[in-house]
Structure 1
Amino acid sequence: MSGQVTREQMEYDVVIVGAGPAGLSAAIRLKQLDPDLSVVLLEKGSEVGAHILSGAVLDPSGLDALIPDWRDRGAPIHTPVTEDNFYLLGPAGQLRIPNLPMPPLMNNHGNYIVSMGNVCRWMAEQAEALGVEIFPGMACSALVYDGDRVAGVVAGEMGLAADGTPGPQYEPGMELLGKYVFLSEGVRGSLAKEVIAKYDLSAGKCPQKYGLGMKEIWEIDPAKHRQGSVTHTMGWPLGGNAGGGSFIYHLENNQVYVGFVVHLNYENPHLYPYMEFQRFKHHPMVAELLKGGKRVAYGARAISEGGWQSMPKMVAPGVALLGCSVGMVNVPRIKGNHNAMLSGKAAAEAAHAAIHAGRAGDELTDYETEVRGGAIGQDLKKVRNVKPFWSKWGLFPSLVLGGFDMWTNNLLGLSLFGTRKHGKSDAAATGKAADFAPIAYPKPDGVLSFDRLTNVAFSFTNHEESQPAHLKLKDPSVPIAVNLPQFAEPAQRYCPAGVYEVVAEEGKEPRFVINFQNCVHCKTCDIKDPSQNIHWTVPQGGDGPNYPNM
């Protein structure tokens, strides 16, 4: 029981938090194995897919393993990759990187340009047809413990007033209990974060590394549209300020996904990732593509980039971490959805075997063994040194060393470099403001580039304003007393939704303002705050972005 609130309880065999590709795959696989298992899947978004944001070029291997006849079942996967381009950008031009010297794993032949939001909506239909109970709009705000084991979650608490006390429309929610609980909340989920800390699951591992991915959907001139074309770029405008790059994917209906990723281990606290994205669109190659088009959607999401070295232990008593709650993105491929699906399948198979053996609430060690020794581990281990090379030596040396390392892993099954370690956390990597020059960014023109608040409107984000802010400060004095003088309070810039402001009124001390209504749930603040003073928690269910086709 949580606090002094009395809640109804419901019991299931397996409780799953998060209807992304990992959670949905787990739910589907459990029901494939045993239709009589009781499985509930809880999703904080207003509908399945509402909070899903991914590039995305999908490697279908995960879906092939889970639902081999997905093509016959009408999956919304219609655009095979037909063209693969890599460019190094300068301020006014670009250099094409030939495909030939790239390791085979970088080839997108056989992959598809998709909306992962729509793929997840379709997967939810498959899960419900098998008997999975799916409840969208049900944010899971707390874990339920039974002794040392995770026994369930608190879901659906609604109607708290701004001060955290029950309001007139208060609903206490329910405790959903399970023999096993799967956490598939995506990157930096609040419950997974608690589990990792409580059970010290990251002991002996490198710190997790992250990127911030921002994405717009554009409708462009049909004469410029090349359905199936995939383009990735590196270099300008980031230069030596940060690692990262862009993607441009041509899907159906004359639409393109235009995205930009900034690695969050950047040092200069004056860096403004969102404005780097907006500046990127003014590169001649990109501007010409978008000329005459219109942006129809925007969103942002953190990406787990630590890979093999950073994956925590994935199980604790009664609970397993799935997908991006562990961090299964193959960074050079910019793909993780296939591994998320495979992780859900593996967790389901381990839980099914345990339940049929009469077990409950223990550690699903078979799941972890399969992840590290199976297809997921093989995928991530081959590229484990690319991110550390990039972080330590920058873009050009990492292209050479990383490419060589991937080739040796591909041909010989080993790395001549061993396993390189990641450095400090992304928060600790942030330098002092006095040591770096401020960066002047051009003003958005309202045609190709847009201010944050205008773009946030295209994420269709909404939060009930009377509820408590879901962005918690551990110490309210830190933003002004510490972060402002030492780091120029970078929350003003690293947030891609304009949530954080420092307001300085004449004759008054500056104030730190949290506009939580703008939050697109990217989790960047929880990751990058140099004082680690911001704790991201779930708002009430259904709130947040409502992404249409991300």
Structure 2
Amino acid sequence: MTERESMAYDVVIVGGGPAGLAAAIRLKQLGTEQGHEIAVCVLEKGSEIGAHILSGAVVDPKALDELIPDWRDRDCPMAQTPVTENHHWVLTEGNKIEFPHFLLPPFMHNEGCYTGSLGSFCRWLAGQAEMLGVEIFPGFAAAEVLFNDDGSVKGVATGDMGVLRDGTHGHAYQPGMELHAKYTFFAEGVRGHLSKQLIRHFDLAKDSDPQVYGIGIKELWDIDPAKHVPGRVIHTQGWPLTDAWGGGFLYHQANGQVALGFVTALSYKNPYLEPFQEMQRWKLHPAIREILEGGRRVSYGARAINEGGLQSVPKLTFPGGALIGCSAGFVNVPRIKGSHTAMKTGMMAAEAAFAAVKGGSEGRDELGAYEAAYQDSWVRKELEKVRNAEPSVAKFGGFFGTLYSGIDLWAHHLGIKLPWTFKHHADNEQLWRKEHCHPIAYPKPDGVITFDKLSSVFLSNTNHEEDQPIHLTLKDADIPIAVNLALYDAPEQRYCPAGVYEIVGRDEGNPRLQINAQNCVHCKTCDIKDPTQNINWVVPEGGGGPNYPNM
């Protein structure tokens, strides 16, 4: 075995998204303010900062105002497009109903928010971090958690490079690097590869509900300039979903572009439902199509979204480290926002770690100050208000669930706290068997408004080294045919938005699962929705996956 080299830091941060970068910046700010040097590094598995970042996005600047008060004067790309209009449409198959703005709970109005590319925003944040002395290493995937002899987290090791499909070392083989730290922050985003291991290892979720998710399918379009209204924000609910819930968004952003997407909750029951196709069908609605006609699709991507909220947030700390951002799940579902809460949790963890390091801690303890700060923060208060929004829709359906959610949210606005909290149920347990469901007939792509999966994946610039080990691993190779195909008609063929999973050999009477791992856009849907939890998404070689230019 080749011995790995190591580097030591005060804090190592896994993930270069809003939470990780906010934490890094806050650590260095405190070091400057208090005259105490602190060594910080950020690992990012994407080829560059922002390469794997995908969000709508409409951003509440609350946390950013705290972190960098003069950000609007620092050429931040998010400052280009403040929200100017806010619309909520209820869609039927051929019509739309504009939901009266005054009936929306006030915090859903988007006043003071901004819309733009979260990837570009993260690249800007990375620049701010580097100016403060943060070391950032893109293209290096944290593949393993390292532990001290007493069981505390010691740091992480990056994945080996140049390992071939059969496990042997190719000519370009390089062993991974160990990064040791007093505290390690896991900011991997939704369903993080290492974060899920830590949650199990330290039993962090024992007092919380299962995390639940949606899958967001997103496209970026250049549209007819005559139709573009910078800062216009549109959300939709209703059609085309019938036996599932979710909704769409269209955000008029800078440079004549519209970011549009569709989110399907992964609690759906019909194994024949296909989130990618629901998004394509949604674009055919007259109100949506009218915006896109005469335009051109320029990018595509997909990502799972935490939707569990307050009930699903696990314990945040463990000896030697902490979960921050979407690794723990702080998305405010009715607001369709999570960047501000993710950033704030990173900042709170940074403040706790800095105090501990300055006080001489060797990092084998827990950052209790972070957990305490979260419990008293505006992040928790915000999630408390909306805790019943997602589970009420899952419980009562789209119409009655939305009605209940509206009443609940208005009650909170008026100072009335309803005393109950609805529970969540794991998404992978929700599928019905195929004999209880009907296949769904989706329209064929027209190549103008609607498209197929493979041409979509092409626009995501996804690439993996062909001969590396498959990072979509199976715990039991027999289950895809014996269980998933037999009982659910292989739903992995449909819930994956990138055409990774195929059943081949059916016509010959010898069906088998083919995994096209090179197509994977790292959305994590398979890891979440697989009914037997047989698929385990592990991190591929660093630098692989999508390369989103402006998503």
| TM-score category (smaller protein) | over 0.9
Q: Secondary structure at the match of 1:206?
A: coil
- Tell me by how many angstroms 1:168 deviates: 2.1
Residue 76 (structure 2) aligns with: 75
- Tell me by how many angstroms 1:140 deviates: 0.6
Residue 51 (structure 1) aligns with: 52
Residue 243 (structure 1) aligns with: 245
**Of the candidates 221, 224, 227, which is equivalent to residue 224 of structure 2?**
221
* 1:389-408 residue CA offsets vs partner (Å, 9 max, x unmatched): 00000111122211111112
Amino acid at match of 1:272: E
Residue 15 (structure 2) aligns with: 18
Amino acid at match of 1:138: F
Q: Secondary structure at the match of 2:428?
A: coil
Q: Which runs of 5+ in 1 are unaligned?
A: none
**Of the candidates 414, 424, 432, which is equivalent to residue 411 of structure 1?**
414
Q: Distance in 2 between matches of 1:491 and 1:219?
A: 32
Q: Distance in 2 between matches of 1:166 and 1:415?
A: 60
Q: Distance in 2 between matches of 1:8 and 1:405?
A: 54
Q: Distance in 2 between matches of 1:453 and 1:109?
A: 38
Residue 146 (structure 1) aligns with: 148
* 1:461-506 residue CA offsets vs partner (Å, 9 max, x unmatched): 0000010011100101100111001011100000000000001254
Deviates more, 1:35-44 or 1:305-314: 35-44
Contact conserved, 2:116 with 2:254, CA < 8 A, in 1?
no
Residue 516 (structure 2) aligns with: 515
Deviates more, 1:147-156 or 1:305-314: 147-156
- Tell me by how many angstroms 1:296 deviates: 0.1
Q: Secondary structure at the match of 1:406?
A: helix
In angstroms, what is the RMSD of aligned CA positions?
0.9
Residue 7 (structure 1) aligns with: 4
Contact conserved, 2:504 with 2:514, CA < 8 A, in 1?
yes
Residue 283 (structure 2) aligns with: 281
Q: Distance in 1 between matches of 2:257 and 2:395?
A: 37
Q: Distance in 2 between matches of 1:252 and 1:130?
A: 28
Amino acid at match of 1:24: L
Q: Secondary structure at the match of 2:71?
A: coil
- Tell me by how many angstroms 1:507 deviates: 2.9
Does 1:389 pair with 2:392?
yes
- Tell me by how many angstroms 1:7 deviates: 0.5
Residue 303 (structure 2) aligns with: 301
* 1:150-192 residue CA offsets vs partner (Å, 9 max, x unmatched): 1010115201110223222111111000000000000001100
Amino acid at match of 2:288: V
Give the number of aligned pairs.
544
**Of the candidates 5, 27, 30, which is equivalent to residue 27 of structure 2?**
30
Q: Distance in 2 between matches of 1:94 and 1:410?
A: 28
- Tell me by how many angstroms 1:443 deviates: 0.6
| 1:103-502 matches, cutoff 5 A | 103-147=105-149, 148-239=151-242, 241-359=243-361, 360-412=363-415, 414-422=416-424, 424-502=425-503
Deviates more, 1:429-438 or 1:208-217: 429-438
Q: Which runs of 5+ in 2 are unaligned?
A: none
Contact conserved, 2:144 with 2:159, CA < 8 A, in 1?
no
Amino acid at match of 2:469: P
Q: Distance in 1 between matches of 2:412 and 2:94?
A: 36
Q: Secondary structure at the match of 2:101?
A: coil
- Tell me by how many angstroms 1:6 deviates: 1.3
Contact conserved, 2:142 with 2:157, CA < 8 A, in 1?
yes
- Tell me by how many angstroms 1:508 deviates: 4.2
Residue 547 (structure 1) aligns with: 548
- Tell me by how many angstroms 1:419 deviates: 1.4
Q: Distance in 2 between matches of 1:161 and 1:399?
A: 50
Q: Distance in 2 between matches of 1:156 and 1:438?
A: 41
* 1:349-382 residue CA offsets vs partner (Å, 9 max, x unmatched): 0000111111122111111111222011011110
Q: Distance in 2 between matches of 1:505 and 1:438?
A: 18
Contact conserved, 1:232 with 1:245, CA < 8 A, in 2?
yes
* 1:212-248 residue CA offsets vs partner (Å, 9 max, x unmatched): 0010000011111111100000000002x21100000
* 1:251-272 residue CA offsets vs partner (Å, 9 max, x unmatched): 1111100100000000001101
* 1:46-67 residue CA offsets vs partner (Å, 9 max, x unmatched): 0000000001000000100111
* 1:106-131 residue CA offsets vs partner (Å, 9 max, x unmatched): 11010000100000000000000000
Q: Distance in 1 between matches of 2:375 and 2:496?
A: 33
Q: Secondary structure at the match of 1:100?
A: helix
Q: Secondary structure at the match of 2:65?
A: helix
* 1:437-482 residue CA offsets vs partner (Å, 9 max, x unmatched): 1111111111100000000000000000010011100101100111
* 1:306-328 residue CA offsets vs partner (Å, 9 max, x unmatched): 00000000111101000000000
Contact conserved, 1:139 with 1:157, CA < 8 A, in 2?
no
TM-score of the superposition, structure 1-length normalised? 0.98
Q: Secondary structure at the match of 1:71?
A: helix
TM-score of the superposition, structure 2-length normalised? 0.98
